[in-house]
A and B are shown apart, each in its own frame.
Chain A
């Protein structure tokens, strides 16, 4: 019998998240002949629209329709999953702020293993699935053996597995709403507070001069500002700069900040965590300046300069100004 895998589907406003198709590719990397079931919770017409779309790619779609599931509260959904999943289930979940909320506790309640933030799978050694993860902000990778014989919850990094949109599953939607039990939780969702708009909109800029931890001091932001002025771009940043309150949140590039699509992206003193790179779309020309030659940013950049940005950038700015 082919192995059964469940994929937890995130969706919003009646549209499935990009990860919905990525999880199919991930499941097939684990078991090439996997029977994959989409697990979808929500309420009303939006949920129906998502389920019908998913049936194009998934052979089976389990639908759980209930007003209490209208907003995805991981504390509620964990309870539902524990109640309805078969024993020893293998469950794939996107590794984002929902998956981080749901999965570690889910693995405890299912008494199965948890493997976080996976980026690839390399088959089996006995009962052990061989998984690739990253550690130390992406500076090194590891092989991990996970004994999934009694089930597993596996968080999959978004954007890593390529969706295969060519295949059609002609699947069916199975309404499982009648199996929903009691859905109360000791954590209650109140509201979403939207991010405040800043004085610039970095999502509309063609040239971004982006600074990270390597800028070292608030006073040094001026160095990036001067380069941005010289090239006709604006300054953006990575998360540590916002944490330090040196620039406003609206200038942060990354999954927890803005998604930008510049033509040219200059990453100054940015290591290049996947959360940061997750906010960078549209295949820009990336220039990385970092004194650490092991920084992951050099793996994705087009051009790299291994140098302290505090030494290099003023020279660059001056040369650009001279040439004008």
Chain B
């Protein structure tokens, strides 16, 4: 099976405090720790496991600047066969539809049976997989948490739905699936693994290589535009307890007792 996995380099929210820049037009990007989007990493692991079972090849594609090459290499060190970096100034500030149309051009240059994305990334929109499937006119399933290859033409998949339940479906290939975390246990990548793929060639494709009209993507093509960042105030916020850990613990114990939090 030929599998394409779409990945994104994002600030790691588990490692960073995200702050709005003073101009309000972006987040503070200095000193941020970046990594591969967590959902995408599960998608890559799943693709590798499928190919280990039924044969084929895994190709990683990332849309971003040259720094995204590092995450492509990291995912190749996990066992993916090929990597493609899609990069062009004309692609910057694309909206979801713009990103999906760029990826569509990448898909059409290959011959893929299965295309995986993460269920969502840093912007929480969860939109690229569904848009890409619709553009390619192939079936789609979101928040997938199990994949079983039935034959050359069909998969049995589980979708994680509300209440911890799972919705089982049969889906025809080729198709696009967005992958939920927890579908597998992504393998660890050591320094040695990264070193092995350090000199592998990762081609860079731009708008001209992909036959994309630059006016239809990037900022000029976007009909959905983020104009600023700000810090939400959802409620009054918590009363923050101050003092040494011992002092805070004593204050908290009094509050817990009052609220029935200590039996």
Chain A residues with CB under 8 Å of chain B are 73-75, 78, 96-98, 100-109, 113-117, 133-147, 185-195, 206-207, 213, 230-233, 239-240, 242-243, 245, 249-250, 252, 255-259, 263-264, 266, 271, 285-288, 292-294, 296, 298-307, 311-312, 315-316, 319-320, 323
Contacts and interface: CB of A to CB of B under 8 A. Distances in A.
Contacts of B95: 113
Interface stretch (B62-70, B71-79, B138-146, B203-211): B138-146
Interface residues of B, number: 85
Contacts of A306: 240
Contact of B230 (A105, A140, A207, A320): A140
CB-based closest 5 A-B pairs: A232-B263, A104-B130, A304-B238, A195-B164, A105-B134
A91 to B, nearest CB: 14
A140 B131 contact: no
Contacts of A145: 224-225, 227
A320 B249 CA distance: 9
Contacts of B130: 100-105, 108
B27 interface: yes
Given A109-B134, A144-B225, A285-B261, A302 B238 contact: yes
A307 B245 contact: yes
Contact of B18 (A115, A140, A263): A140
B49 to A, nearest CB: 16
A252 B145 CA distance: 16
A323 B175 CA distance: 60
A231 B257 CA distance: 9
Interface of B: 11, 13-14, 17-20, 27, 95-97, 100, 119, 122-131, 133-135, 138-143, 156, 158-172, 175, 178, 181-182, 185, 223-235, 237-241, 245-246, 248-250, 252-253, 255-256, 259-263
A133 B231 CA distance: 11
19 contacts: A100-B143, A113-B223, A114-B224, A116-B96, A116-B125, A143-B226, A187-B175, A192-B166, A231-B262, A233-B261, A243-B181, A257-B163, A264-B259, A264-B260, A300-B234, A302-B238, A305-B240, A316-B252, A319-B253
Nearest to B258: A285
B11 to A, nearest CB: 7
Given A104-B130, A316-B253, A319-B249, A303 B231 contact: no
A190 B224 contact: no
B163 A104 contact: no
Contacts of A114: 96-97, 127, 131, 224
A185 B261 CA distance: 51
Nearest to B174: A186
Contact of B232 (A104, A116, A134, A286): A134
A101 B140 contact: yes
Contacts of B185: 245
Given A75-B139, A190-B170, A97 B160 contact: yes
A264 B167 contact: no
B13 A299 contact: no
B13, B171, B240: most-surrounded residue (chain A CB, <10 A): B13
A287 B256 contact: yes
B14 A187 contact: no
Contacts of A293: 17
Given A97-B160, A256-B160, A292-B17, A136 B11 contact: yes
A259 B117 CA distance: 28
Nearest to A73: B169
Given A101-B159, A134-B232, A292-B17, 13 more contacts: A101-B142, A116-B126, A135-B122, A189-B169, A231-B262, A240-B181, A242-B182, A257-B164, A287-B261, A299-B234, A315-B246, A316-B245, A316-B249
A312 B261 contact: no
Contacts of B255: 285, 287, 303
A97 B127 CA distance: 12
A136 B238 contact: no
Contacts of A315: 245-246, 249
Nearest to B14: A213
